[in-house]
Amino acid sequence: MSRGPVAIKRRRARTAAQSPAARRAADPQRAREAERYAEPVPSRELVLRTLEEEAVPVDERRLAQRLGVRRKEAEAFARRLAAMERDGQILRNRKGAILVAGRVDVVRGRVEAHPDGYGFVVPDDGGADLYLAPGEMRQVMHGDGVLVRPGGVDRRGRREGRIVEVVERAHRLIVGRLVIERGVAFVAAADRRIQHDILIEPGASGGAKPGQIVTAELVVQPGLQTQPIGRVVEVLGDFGDPGMEIEIALRKHDLPFEFTPAAKSLAARLPRAVRPADRKGRQDLRGLAFVTIDGETAKDFDDAVWCERAGRGFRLLVAIADVSHYVAARDALDDAARERGNSVYFPRRVIPMLPEKLSNGLCSLNPDEDRLAMVCDVAVGARGELTRYEFYPAAIRSHARLTYDQVAGALYQAPARIASAVAPLVERLRLLDEVFRALLHARGRRGAIDFETIETEIEFDAHGKIARIVPRPRNDAHRLIEECMLAANVCASDFLRERGHPALYRVHQGPTPEKLEALRGFLKSFGLALGGGETPHAQDYARLLESLKGRPDVQLLQTVLLRSLKQAVYSPENVGHFGLAYESYTHFTSPIRRYPDLVIHRSIKAALAGRAYDPGDWTALGLHCSMTERRADDATRDVQAWLKCYYMRDRVGDEFPGTISAVTSFGIFVALDDVYVEGLVHISELGNDYFQFDPVGHLLRGDRTRRQFRIGDRVRVRVVRVDLELARIDFVPA
């Protein structure tokens, strides 16, 4: 078949002769699109066929014209193209023209940089990563979107890539420390994955002094022959200033922390209290003794609970703040909430998803104030089964703001621990405890996995200095609220699934075949086995965890089991929640601080009204919300690591007992007892031997001495170095 210039010209002539209307009519998936969408746009198949016929990269406007896309379809068509680009079906060149990805020998992906100067390209289509040598990394930064051409294999067997084009720059602003050497000013990035020094234009240092933390705006991006150039647009202050670690984390992780003028204006126009008109059409539940149960420092109260006995079972009401009543889809507040994805909780500071007027005020279920709520009214059987449920809007009034410790003291400890605020509610709390016990039994029968972890909290003195780091163990009051929220989330998921309404599910998949094989090999060395064959269920994990209780190596085994599982994400594809052993699960109970929950509230309201709620591309929204969740985790982890370094800076030379918490090819990480701080013992400090890393056994083994260092082993270490800039603590064996 000829592919020469004449054949291409003939094909383009035939393409031009076909009218847009005829092309739309000939869409091979026209019927499918009409079933899915009220206003169907050209199918992916038709888009790809048209691009193939054009035989050259096509401008988006021309493509829309060729496909007869009308003005009212433009937004939906743009979303379709974005989804096809994300899925790797199409690419855009430097000029923005569109071409079929399969016709070009390149891979699209995102750069994952390493602090040592090399990096990888993680393909958008989920293929194997491509190694980028330090020379290739000169023209890109961590997070950049690139087109790469697969090349050969390096000496370590890694498939290499060559950058063809940088299609998306991840960084416009860089936060770091201003350095001046021999009259040349540059910014050393706080993010160590950015190895480039940002040269500062003469006279563009913004008045910053050497050593201060600044934000630089890039005016020239890096290239093979050019170093990035920028200008200082913000001087944050000195490195040791109080709260500087948070200011750095906000900018390093590109966290939105200021609301737009439009969002502030919209929030300012909202009332400060619930008005009589707001209660119209809602069930009036203000007479029921709802209570909120949260942590000591919480200010945004999403959920309140109430229950009563109903025959042999219970009637449980979970009231959730009705944020969607005040935040309309696609208004300025919604845009801000969507961009943030979630609230971010730092020590002593919160970056809320919504302005404080809503998050701590109008939407928060504060005690003794009328509030609007969406209620999940569920019947719980004596064995914890959810037999019936319904959702409806209501007006409620919380009768008390309780803490976990107060409730635990009232229910599970001596009567003297019952606080005055709790005393009138003790009987109602005991009913809630009975519901909790029933739900807990159902959890056990279901086989949900329950990993025991210790969370820590940093306590500060009156001067803002770190006083100590303390464990915050979960008590049964935490679990009581958790089980009530799980029940409401399951009902929300089932409600939307039964009605065929799209949703953002909270999905958690089981282990990959590779991780499962490695896990079984590890367990075998301990004389243990995981049931379930090639497809184990959560119940198999739960049974194994139960059998480990009381073993001295339980922490090691639990850690390895946990690491064999994937991370939970948001997706419109319901593949179930492996860890919780649910076939269908979503997030409904925290709309003040999580955007997916707000989306679910709107979906439930739409389904109740016989309509459908469409936030746009559900898959893209799930990816975005999963990203903002990881972004928040990374930022808070950075801040906690810096604070722990600050806490340990005066303890260089001290010795501590600890436990190996992780093993890598370059050393072991040790978590100190009582101090709850983690640091690295580099492999070169482990002894006069060559140590080989065994990733399956999670250990390092000496070639000559055969000495082993494994996760869970007890060691004693000495602190030899604390680096505040790198947020790193180095140990050596004591």
Q: What is the structure's pLDDT at 452?
A: 78
Q: Three-state SS across 557-622?
A: HHHHHHHCCCCCEEECCCCCECCCCECCCECCCCCCCEHHHHHHHHHHHHHHCCCCCCCCCHHHHH
CATH number given to 105-168: 2.40.50.140
Q: What is the pLDDT of residues 524-575, one digit of tens each?
A: 988 999 999 989 999 999 999 999 988 888 888 898 999 899 999 999 999 9
**Percent of the chain having pLDDT more than 90?**
73
Tell me the pLDDT band of 416, cut-offs 50, 70 and 90. low
Give the pair of three-digit tokens for residue 190. Answer: 């706080």
Which pLDDT score is estimated for 86?
76
pLDDT at 368 over 60: yes
Q: pLDDT by residue (tens digit) across 218-255?
A: 999 999 889 999 999 999 999 888 899 999 999 999 99
At 100, the pLDDT band (50, 70, 90 cuts) reads confident
**Are residues 332 and 262 in contact, defined by beta-carbon separation less than 8 angstroms?**
yes
Dist CA 460 CA 465 (whole Å): 5
* Stated pTM of the model: 0.84
CA distance 405 to 693: 44
Residues 6+ apart with CB under 8 A from 500: none
Average pLDDT (34-51) is 84
Distance CA 717, CA 734 (A): 4
Q: What is the pLDDT of residues 492-529, one digit of tens each?
A: 999 999 999 999 999 999 999 999 999 999 999 889 99
| pLDDT confidence bin for 56, thresholds 50/70/90 | confident
Residue range(s) in the chain whose domain bears CATH number 2.40.50.700:
173-239
Mean predicted confidence (pLDDT) in 184-193: 95
Question: So what's the pLDDT on residue 1?
Answer: 39
* CATH 3.40.50.720 for the 173-239 domain, yes or no: no
Average pLDDT over residues 93-105: 76
Q: Which residue has the higher pLDDT, 128 or 418?
A: 128
What's the pLDDT tens digit per position in 382-413? 999 999 999 999 999 999 999 999 999 999 88
Domain with CATH 2.40.50.140 in the chain: 105-168, 649-733
Find the mean pLDDT for residues 682-702.
93
- Quote the CA–CA distance of 656 and 658 in Å, as a whole number: 6
Q: How many other CB atoms are found less than 10 A from the CB of residue 82?
A: 14
SS3 527: coil
CATH of region 649-733? 2.40.50.140
Specify the pLDDT at position 321: 98
pLDDT of amino acid 8: 47
Average pLDDT over residues 164-177: 93
Averaged pLDDT, 74-81 = 89
Among 28-32, 372-376, 678-682, the least confident range: 28-32
Categorize the per-residue pLDDT at 72 as very low, low, confident or very high, splitting at 50, 70 and 90.
Answer: confident
The predicted-structure confidence for 630-664, as pLDDT tens digits, reads as follows 999 999 999 999 999 999 999 999 999 999 999 99
- Strands ordered across the beta sheet of 708-710: 691-694, 699-702, 708-710
Q: How big is the chain, counted in residues?
A: 734
247-303 pLDDT tens trace: 999 999 999 999 999 999 999 999 999 999 999 999 999 999 999 999 999 999 999
Query: Model confidence at 141, in pLDDT bands (50, 70, 90)?
Result: very high
